[in-house]
Amino acid sequence: MSPFPRNQWYVAAYAHEVGRELFTRTVCGESVLLWRTEAGEVAAMADRCVHRRFPLSEAPSRLVGDTVVCGYHGFTYGADGVCTAVPGQARVPRTARLTTYPVKEQDSFVWVWIGEREKADEALIPRSPWLDSPGYTTVCGMEPLAARYGLLVDNLLDLSHETYLHGGYIGTPEVAETPITTEVDEAAGVVYVSRHMDDAACPPFYAKSTGIEGRITRWQDIEYHAPCLYLLHSRIAPVGAPGPNPDGTDPHAFHVEVVYAITPETEHSTHDFWAVARDFALEDQEVSDFLRENNRTVVLQDVVALDKLEQVIASEPAGAQELSINIDTGGLAARRILKRLVEAGAEAGAAGRQALTAS
């Protein structure tokens, strides 16, 4: 069984990574070739030539207009994946076509659908509108993680680890000390974990970016849309400042929207996309540089820890004993949802294959 949920949307890239150069990224074990047509549309197709499987992202393969020319023997493909020319002969084999992926550019990400294409529905893609909203300034990056995606989901759903793994950056004692409230919509595949700290130390990440001196109210509201998108709504305000208004406006607080896309690469590696969008100091380059540098440092602290954890887990027999406590309430729900999505994707695949053999 595939270790990944199939029939799901995944972030394959940032929109700015895909242009008029051939670009490749492995998503759920599938090598996806990404490029933009002259009209600016993103094309997504298998990164393996149908002839002898040469990677089309590899030089001297190249883009010529709106076609990809294989660098090995010259098979030429359009944006629809159909092969239009082969060397030496006029007839192009009817079956010469690359698998294409349903693709959607949205909220500064390029999403691809991994699974049966007739099930792809763009309305199912979870949103992160801040990332390209004029009301926010965003810094972002992507770190390769040599660990299975589930470890990153565990990590992000329980932020009490900030106190220990990210002390001096984003962690303060209050994070681990403050109880959480968890909500789970099993059917929608959404987990919400809320931690509201009334009176907390302000970690450097927020002190330096907001300019707040002294203690803060710090709200962390996590929304995980399985399998790929994770949102952390972070609200920071000086202690004693008024809360949000009933109409949703919140002029006395600073808001940071931290977004992760958790995209499985292989069974034991993950693309760790991270973005930090803020609604203050929009034009301040120093704040942008600071948040980018600092958040990347924090992400890398997780990467080092999870890479190590992966080695340990991979070396142990499956099902080694763990012990869950209150902080794991949301993480356990996420694991359960992911397990169900993996099974559902596998069942759908099996049913599809059966239908093919039957016909």
Partner 1 sequence: MNTSHPAPTAMLTGATVHRVVWVPGTDRLRGWCWCGTSHETEGPVELWEWLLAHPDTHPDTHADSSAGTGSGAHLSPADRSPTSAPRSARRRSES
The answer to whether residues 18 and 110 touch, using CB atoms and an 8 Å cutoff, is: yes
Closest distance between Fe ion and the C-beta of residue 159, in Å?
A: 7
Looking at the chain, the number of H-run helices and the number of E-run strands are: 6, 17
Q: Of the two residues 36 and 225, which places its CB atom closer to partner 1 in the complex? A: 225
Stretch that binds Fe ion, among 5-13, 204-212, 226-234, 301-309 (CB under 5 A): 301-309
Among 95, 21, 123, 119, smallest CA distance to 62 is for 21
Is 290 an interacting residue with respect to partner 1 (CB under 8 A)?
A: no
Selection from Fe ion, ligand FES, partner 1, none that 31 binds (CB < 5 to 8 A by kind) is none
The answer to whether residues 170 and 160 touch, using CB atoms and an 8 Å cutoff, is: no
Q: Is 166 exposed, middle or buried (0-12, 13-18, 19+ CB in 10 A)?
A: buried
Is 225 an interacting residue with respect to partner 1 (CB under 8 A)?
A: yes
What residues numbered 100-159 form the site for partner 1, per CB under 8 A?
115, 119, 121, 123-130, 133, 135
Q: Of the two residues 4 and 75, which places its CB atom closer to partner 1 in the complex? A: 4
Residue 317 backbone dihedrals phi, psi, to 5 degrees: -60, 145
Q: Of the two residues 302 and 310, which places its CB atom closer to Fe ion in the complex? A: 302
**Which residue ranges make up the site for ligand FES (CB under 6 A)?**
49, 51-52, 54, 70, 72-75
C-alpha distance from residue 46 to each of 100, 132, 190 (Å): 6, 28, 30
| Residue that the structure tokens 């092969």 belong to | 83
User: For the packed helices 285-315 and 149-157, what is the interaxial angle rounded to 10 degrees?
Assistant: 120
Is 354 an interacting residue with respect to partner 1 (CB under 8 A)?
A: no
Among 274, 278, 276, 277, smallest CA distance to 300 is for 274
DSSP letters of 279-299? SSSTT-HHHHHHHHHHHHHHH
Q: What percent of the residues of the chain are helix, what percent strand, and what percent coil, each to the nearest 5?
A: 30, 35, 40
Helix (H) or strand (E) holding 13: strand 8-14
Find the binder of partner 1 among 104, 233, 292, 296 (CB under 8 A): 233
Query: What length is written for the chain?
Result: 359
Selection from partner 1, Fe ion, ligand FES, none that 302 binds (CB < 5 to 8 A by kind) is Fe ion
Closest distance between ligand FES and the C-beta of residue 316, in Å?
A: 41
Closest distance between ligand FES and the C-beta of residue 69, in Å?
A: 9
Amino acid at 287: V
Is 186 an interacting residue with respect to partner 1 (CB under 8 A)?
A: yes
Find the binder of Fe ion among 47, 107, 302, 328 (CB under 5 A): 302
Q: Of the two residues 44 and 191, which places its CB atom closer to Fe ion in the complex? A: 191
Find the binder of partner 1 among 182, 234, 288, 301 (CB under 8 A): 182
The answer to whether residues 160 and 175 touch, using CB atoms and an 8 Å cutoff, is: yes
The answer to whether residues 229 and 199 touch, using CB atoms and an 8 Å cutoff, is: no
Site string for partner 1, 3-42 (x = CB under 8 A): --x-xx----------------------------------
Q: Which residues bind partner 1 (CB under 8 A)?
A: 5, 7-8, 115, 119, 121, 123-130, 133, 135, 179-190, 192, 194, 196, 221, 223, 225, 231, 233, 244-245, 247-255, 257, 279-280, 282, 324-326, 328-329, 332-333, 336, 340-341, 343-345, 347-348
Q: Which residues bind Fe ion (CB under 5 A)?
A: 302
